[in-house]
Amino acid sequence: MFDFDEIQEEFFRVFMDHNPFMKMMQKHFASSFKDHSYDIYAPIAGKCMDISCCKDIAFSQKSFGDGFMIEPIDNVIYAPCYGKITSIFPTKHAYGIEMINGKEIMLHIGLETVKMKKGFFRTDAKVGDYIKPGKRIADFDMNEAIDNGIDMSTIVVLIDSKDLSLKHLNKTVSKDDVITSVNSDENH
């Protein structure tokens, strides 16, 4: 029996590339996914809130685009979508992700966490890794965050987007909950 997840990961690994033909194939392949190809899931368990509630003005004023934030009750970060990791900040607190439809996501873990010492965030993820919802990306030291009063709100921004339709606002979510969905023509 074929394992769709293994076939999909192999496709990502072998064929998805940054040349024009592969971009065209990528969009075609993305359209062949069932209903979940453009879904953005909660990357961490916790209370889901509109990004306008974020204490960081750059996020709350949607300077990078629309999105959501989660006040975590756990310390494990999961992939929020099907796609590819395109960048990882050296401290491992922020990730750039290209969705399979070409949209870009910023996953930002915590506020002012750029100042945290090496080892606060742990990850096995690398730039170029292909991901799918629920794949573990990173974790952080929850005890140290609590002891130091660090706000670990985790923010997901769909770059340059406007007026996303968000689900589960003001509710507790897990990595299995879809928060919003986008396609290549929406929300721009």
Q: Just list the catalytic residues.
A: 108
How far is Cα 165 from Cα 67, in angstroms, rounded to an integer? 9
Of the candidates 82, 50, 86, 56, the one whose C-alpha atom is nearest the C-alpha of residue 69 is: 50
Beta strand extents in the chain (DSSP E only): 39-41, 46-50, 65-72, 76-78, 83-88, 94-99, 104-109, 121-123, 130-131, 136-140, 154-159, 172-173, 178-181
How far is Cα 166 from Cα 181, in angstroms, rounded to an integer? 8
Q: The tokens of 107 are what?
A: 């996953």
How far is Cα 109 from Cα 150, in angstroms, rounded to an integer? 11
179: alpha, beta or left, given left = phi > 0 and alpha = psi -120 to 50?
Answer: alpha
Greatest CA separation found in the chain?
50
